[in-house]
């Protein structure tokens, strides 16, 4: 299969940062870009999510906010780690009985 040259313009700062990341991973930028093209072909599309994560739609963040709200409402938001571990131990002991 014949090789062909692919060129495009990129912001210099972004290019330098990308090269630095690739070097830390032990590859060069050209190898990374070839990997991206190969994955695009393999997936027959963009190989990663192309949607914007809206914080209000993020279930993980919503769960943490709900847990914080419940902790405030029940007065347990300021528990120390030792107090939390004591509660866990007691709940486990109660569950095994």
Judged against a pLDDT cut of 80, whether residue 55 lies above it is answered with no
pLDDT at 56: 60
Confidence of residue 18 (pLDDT cuts 50, 70, 90): very high
Asked if residues 71 and 77 have their Cβ atoms less than 8 Å apart, the reply is: yes
pLDDT at 30: 93
Confidence of residue 53 (pLDDT cuts 50, 70, 90): low
| Overall average pLDDT of the 58-72 stretch | 82
Instruction: Give the whole-angstrom CA distance, residue 72 versus residue 74.
Output: 6
Extended strands (E) in the chain = none
The domains of the chain are located at 1-49, 59-96
Instruction: Give the whole-angstrom CA distance, residue 88 versus residue 81.
Output: 10
pLDDT at 29: 94
Judged against a pLDDT cut of 70, whether residue 57 lies above it is answered with no
Judged against a pLDDT cut of 70, whether residue 8 lies above it is answered with yes
């Amino acid at each position: 299969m014949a090789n062909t040259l692919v060129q495009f313009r990129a912001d210099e700062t972004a290019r330098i940062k990308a090269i630095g990341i690739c070097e830390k991973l032990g590859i060069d930028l050209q190898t990374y870009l070839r990997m991206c093209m190969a994955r695009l072909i393999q997936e027959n599309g963009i190989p990663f999510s192309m949607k914007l994560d809206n914080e209000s739609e993020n279930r993980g963040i919503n769960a943490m906010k709900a847990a914080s709200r419940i902790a405030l409402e029940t007065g347990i938001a300021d528990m120390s780690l030792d107090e939390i571990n004591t509660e866990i131990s007691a709940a486990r002991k109660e569950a095994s009985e």
